[in-house]
Structure 1
Amino acid sequence: MKEIDYDQVEEAARELYIRALKLLPDDIKDGFGKLQGLETSERARTILNTMVTNIRVAEDNNNLLCQDTGIPIYNVFVGRAVAIDGWRLQQAIRKGCERATREHPLRSSVVHPISRKNNHTSCGPGVPVIHMEFVEAPDTLEIQMIPKGSGSENNSFLRMAIPAEGLAAVKRFVIDCVIDAGGKTCPPTIVGVGVGGTSDLCVHLAKQAATRPLGSVCEDALGAELERELSEAVNRLGVGPQGLGGDATAFAVHVELAATHITMNPVAVNMQCHSARRARASLGAGGIEYSF
């Protein structure tokens, strides 16, 4: 069995938070290029150009892409031959998250939900959010970090549709959510759609979809077709960059599915803003390897 170095986990959690806030993944940069080439509105092209400039300036000056440091989310992928102490793993991630906030330093966006007290650690009850997933690859231990800002997270929606309403209800709900969000999500967005499961699983699927790399496709053939149809429909709405009109409302619509009950068909929407930040680390005997 592969043993885990928890000091390495802590360091990865720290560095991932900082990297995610400063470096935009290449697939998102490529997505901007595609939208710029397709945009027909002069004002929208100007806004897209300003966003691209912001990305370049942030990287050139080792600065943040956005002042909102978000809710820290860590997705952990554990291989079959990896032995972990789950509690120690969680504590190492939490400590790394706190160190990133204090040592960098970052603005902490995390507060107590009732008192609104901010401990300036980016941590609190239930935060950072840590998801564990067990994968087939034997020696894999990977950590993905996603800082989810409030502009995108506030535009989260769930509808417990019924099967009699059909797929049309799913499509209509997604379109209505994008219209309702307007410019509040700082478009162009990645629109994540979850279909099926239970209410909580459906919302989780929507967030997984929203944070998938651009160019990835739903593994389910029907889900992939729904992605294609919704991506075309959303970019005909005219919301445009920052909600000021244009063709570039979304980089893409991503869909994730789960089996559900015969009497229900949940659908959820979660959006990712144009600064679609994420970072990934692979941990092994050779040290930590960072990527997106």
Structure 2
Amino acid sequence: MSLREIRAEQITEEVKRLCIEANKELPEDLEQVIRAAEKTETSKIGKSILADLGANMDAARELNLPVCQDTGMAVVFADIGQDVHITGGAFEDAVNKGVRRGYLDGLLRLSVVADPIRRGNTGDNTPAVIHTRIVPGDRIALTVAPKGFGSENMSRLKMFTPAASQDDLIEFVAETVKLAGGRPCPPVVIGVGIGGDFELCALLAKKALCRPVSQRNADPFYAELEERMLRRVNELNVGPQGFGGSTTALAVNIEQYATHIAGLPIAVNMGCHVTRHKSVLI
């Protein structure tokens, strides 16, 4: 079978576009959920805040500006078909070049430092965090998810034993949201990873944030658990921006994977009300 050739420059241009568009346009279903929450929110101040969030989205669209000043660290998920041959450059170089062009040409805030301790802004928002999988086929699926750290800093992971109950998992998610309070800019989207090992569990939680908030887990068991977690979180009265109310979270998305007989890992990756992601299939 012949390989399908995809130019590195095409990957760069698509990543550039996705970086800009993801920062300026919320997923349609997320915007709808935010606007619907204004009508059902029980707190007067919560209603006012949700109305302001709607006005902010309108202003971003009208002025062609990012929906949030923290335009995040670029997280890129790439499913690369095994029958693809990338020409004209290395894949990760092409992605980082796209992030560089997107953030500089799009006039987006540059928030990446070169070293976690010694710091030093890189000046172009690279390097990106890149997650690749080799999959069947001759296409490349790219998702760019700009991740602000007001919410990222509130994320947690716990290695439960198999003796943990569903209620234990629900309370861990609720405790994480309660400890976070208003810092992740609620109402939040909550990505939950269950299973795998230490690092895969966290990756599942991040991946869960890239799923549409209108789409429940395909397994009815986990779809019900998502709904139970969402109800519990919204009982906390954290509310929009932490000022109290019934809309603390907009959605809970769970991704699960097989795990070891001795473990039950769970990770919570917090997403603010501008949980952004944009995808393309090349």
TM-score bracket for this pair, using the shorter chain length: over 0.9
User: How far does residue 85 in structure 1 lie from its aligned partner after superposition?
Assistant: 6.5
Comparing 3-12 and 75-84, the one that deviates more: 75-84
Question: Which residue identity is paired with 2:72?
Answer: G
TM-score by length of 1: 0.91
Query: What corresponds to 2:130 in structure 1?
Result: 130
Query: Where do 1:191-230 residues align within 5 Å?
Result: 191-230=190-229
Structure 1 runs of 4+ aligned residues shifted over 4 Å read: none
- Quote the Cα distance in structure 1 between the aligned partners of 2:7 and 2:97: 14
Matched residue, 2:14: 12
CA–CA distance in structure 1, aligned partners of residues 214 and 271 of structure 2: 15
Q: Which amino acid aligns with 2:78?
A: V
Single out whichever of 248-257 and 94-103 deviates more from structure 2.
Answer: 94-103
Is the 8 Å Cα contact of residues 21 and 147 (structure 1) preserved in structure 2?
Answer: yes
Instruction: Show the counterpart of 2:75.
Output: 73
Mark the runs of 5 or more structure 1 residues left unpaired by the alignment: 284-292
Task: Give CA-to-partner distance per residue, 1:52-71, whole Å, 9 cap, x none.
Answer: 10011011101111111211
Q: Secondary structure at the match of 2:111?
A: coil
Between 169-178 and 45-54, the greater mean CA deviation after superposition: 169-178
1:42 aligned partner: 44
Q: Which amino acid aligns with 1:261?
A: H
Question: What corresponds to 2:84 in structure 1?
Answer: 82
Q: Where does residue 119 of structure 2 map in the other structure?
A: 116
Which residue is equivalent to 1:286? none
- Unaligned segments of structure 2, at least 5 residues: none
CA distance in 2, matches of 1:200, 1:5: 31
CA positional deviation for 1:132: 1.3
TM-score, length of structure 2 as denominator length = 0.94
Show the 5 A alignment for 1:260-271.
260-271=259-270
Match of 1:152 in 2: 151
Q: Look up the equivalent residue of 1:121 and give its one-letter code.
A: D
The number of aligned residues is 279
* Pairwise CA RMSD: 1.6
Comparing 195-204 with 218-227, greater Cα deviation is found at 218-227
Per the alignment, residue 181 of structure 1 pairs with 180
2:8/2:87 contact within 8 Å kept: no
